[in-house]
Structure 1
């Protein structure tokens, strides 16, 4: 364990007694970096912070008796006066134990000394002025029994420090071995990150080169909001295209970010969150995991690309009618295909990111026999049981994607389902991110015309009118819409437009000549109305 004042007080053979500082738990548990003895009036020029200073109090005896150390000129330290001469002058200037004790303690506190130990060899008890000064300045004071040699305390601290370092080294070596063993498992990357969580008592998240979280099932769930907090920092680290790390301290504890891979082709970012800052052994372990994770991400990317090509090939087989052959192959690789009837979903756009495919792969592993997915015609396509589309819909929406979904179909009618899904996807938008083909039927004939390419046909029909000079085009379009809104009645439409009905007739006749239509016929009127609705 780490050497602390509390640790020394528990060593019965040292015969130590705490005089002041019992109410300061932090001071008692603060690690001691050293223990050393000195009876100089001012030893601080030779001290570093965080240690236990031991003294027999002889300097207090000399000052109270009116004596003083040798003058500066009598020093035999080889000319090393410097800061020491100031200490000698300060001691020579004091004539009362209380005054000297307060100045002495102030110097120790300013130098960062963690505690003071005074032996009862010279004094029967610690001088009251020293006790008062330590209590006033908040410096823990320990009484050292006359039977206890200072070397025993120094040795206890140095031995405990060495033992702590040995334990940390053993911990580090064992942790490194555990991570290396985990990397050899079939699920190497997941196993490595889980081992890192276990060894550091932390949570871990991995982001790919595009800044998306890699869907790995680690043991510890990050605190709510923690990942949102680091996303911007992850993207900035990737944008710099340089190796590096960052440490964030905030509401979610201490968070460390480390890039993976070699610039400029970074593979991602490893995020480690803990309640306290990582020690050196923890940082060393993270460094080892970074190397393993970088290799694993490269391997995973190549494997995912191969799986993607295989899935796309099986989907092509099924669309060509070889459902039975594709189903046998899929079952050997991933498990059975979803049972009929199924629904086909097609992502509108943005589904090219590999991280989405990884998330779908994980979802399919969790739900065997309930999901198949592949890429087709530059779109990501999923096939689920007809009553089990909700998980796919939730996943797509969490990635900010829009999609269309078919009506229930059989595997033999997969091409019909795919066509319906593609049509529904064209109607999806931010305000309506997931559109079922069933809903389009509810939108009426125009909805079906729009999803089946009716808008392009309507534009070709209206092209001569759309190509007219802008002023003429706008007037004729306004006239047609007003006329159609009034069920092709001349007088109400003319009054709305503020023109004579003969002027209205002339404009409609001009449209007939441009488009080659006879608007006296209901069929031509209906065709023109539908075209206007689809192009508007």
Structure 2
């Protein structure tokens, strides 16, 4: 902490005397960054905010009664952020000018008297020695803190230990977020204040969306929060968030930079391990598809604990542009449930297996990551091949109708006719019935409406003839003519079904 005016007043060797304000005023404890001496009428161009000024009053006329000179002088110092003024007496002026005392008191500028036997250099040297000692202490503290953090990095739980040591050294809360924007759990660490959680998470997602390295200072709910991204441009590994600490200085900055380097390395190593695990996941899934369930289960139990309990739902998803974010989110979800959720990559798509209790979590995660997906009906691991086919059909349907998620039951619920509609069979139906439509238009017949009624009445002759108001033999003649034009034998069930489907899809062509 830099010295203050009170620090100088307590020095018996300087023999300074406080003029204004009263002893105990908060302004006397404000930090002083440096001490400067000047006799210029306007020394502010050569001063920085937070400094203390010393003068012997050469710039003020002797016995001057012009208070405006003092008012303007003090106003310039206050506006520039000068922390106080030391006036040397018995050098130019026998005492403190009344105008200067009045102006300092009215404008709130601390003023103290420097006796003639106290050189300015003594005041400057005392402040310089204090700052040097403070800086050495901060450097030593920073060095010791970095050593402690380096030792923490060597522990088996290196990443968690690093964050815990950082929190202890900076006396603040520390939160680490992965590349998907999820907070990495660190048992024993101070939690993010509940009032800040949603705002901090939003700021973290915004930082990750930028996709480049950045450091930012935010004020959230009246608290200063520091965000530091981890990783390289376009390959961010996460975000480090800190809050509730003292203002940043070089020592704290050095510590945070050390942690960023160590945490980035730890996350990079974790990413490499995740890649290896994903290759292993893909192999386990192919074993399941091949029916080698025992082999897959033994492998999974050694790495993830187990496979999802039956019945399982298979979800096939097509990731968005940021597919790596989805994979990281799935890795975290699978880790949370210790095998109750299993995922694997298959080319550009991702397969997810989950039990009934976890499927809602999977669905919510896919929606958060803007992924398009299709899900199978619940089933056993032994029928995984069928589940994959069901999810494939559901995913195709989701892509066609631009819907985030489609369940296989939505596709199978409409039966085989629903699948034909999905394939846009109306175009084929129109081409098939075109000869019959053309015949009706040219010959002014009603063959299309006749066969439609006949099909709708389950191909019963008497009922259809009565509805159309024609003789049964006339109906038979029309049906035979329609079959001849279409090249169908309508005495056969297969050709009747062909005609029924074509008439059903005619309106979709």
Partner of 1:400: 370
Distance in 1 between residues matched to 2:4 and 2:454, nearest whole Å: 93
| 1:114 matches 2:83 | yes
Partner of 2:231: 260
When residues 154 and 514 of structure 1 are mapped into structure 2, their CA distance, relative to the original with a 3 A threshold, is farther
Report which stretch shifted further, 137-146 or 163-172.
137-146
Partner of 2:184: 216
1:14-163 alignment runs, 5 A limit? 17=18, 19-20=20-21, 25=26, 27-36=27-36, 47-55=47-55, 63-64=62-63, 95-96=64-65, 98=67, 100-106=69-75, 108-109=77-78, 112-118=81-87, 126-143=96-113, 153-163=123-133
* Match of residue 421, structure 1, among 391, 398, 420: 391
How far did residue 228 of structure 1 move? 3.9
Distance in 1 between residues matched to 2:415 and 2:324, nearest whole Å: 38
Figure out how many residues of one structure are paired with residues of the other and give that number. Answer: 473
When residues 375 and 485 of structure 1 are mapped into structure 2, their CA distance, relative to the original with a 3 A threshold, is farther
| 1:319 matches 2:289 | yes
When residues 187 and 403 of structure 1 are mapped into structure 2, their CA distance, relative to the original with a 3 A threshold, is farther
1:146-225 alignment runs, 5 A limit? 153-189=123-159, 191-192=161-162, 195-196=165-166, 199=169, 201=172, 208=179, 212-213=180-181, 216-217=184-185, 220-221=191-192, 223-225=197-199
| 1:363 matches 2:337 | no
1:241-256 alignment runs, 5 A limit? 245=214, 247=216, 253=224, 256=227
Q: Structure 2: which 5+ runs fail to align? A: 458-463, 469-476
How far did residue 307 of structure 1 move? 0.7
Does the 8 Å contact 1:21/1:140 carry over to 2?
no
- Residues 15-69 of structure 1: CA deviation (Å, up to 9, x unaligned): 65361388985x4454312235567777667655432224566876x711xxxxx
Partner of 1:528: 502
Partner of 1:341: 311
Q: Structure 1: which 5+ runs fail to align? A: 65-94, 239-243, 495-504
| 1:331 matches 2:301 | yes
- Residues 114-145 of structure 1: CA deviation (Å, up to 9, x unaligned): 20134676889744322211123332223568
How far did residue 224 of structure 1 move? 2.1
- Residues 501-534 of structure 1: CA deviation (Å, up to 9, x unaligned): xxxx99x97898568574997533433255558x
Distance in 2 between residues matched to 1:434 and 1:254, nearest whole Å: 38
How far did residue 160 of structure 1 move? 2.9
When residues 320 and 215 of structure 1 are mapped into structure 2, their CA distance, relative to the original with a 3 A threshold, is farther
User: SS at the partner of 1:63?
Assistant: coil
User: SS at the partner of 1:428?
Assistant: helix
State TM-score, norm by structure 1: 0.69
| 1:309 matches 2:309 | no
- Residues 144-196 of structure 1: CA deviation (Å, up to 9, x unaligned): 68897766644442233123312321333234334433443445455545655
Distance in 2 between residues matched to 1:357 and 1:512, nearest whole Å: 59
Partner of 1:72: none
How far did residue 267 of structure 1 move? 4.7
State TM-score, norm by structure 2: 0.72
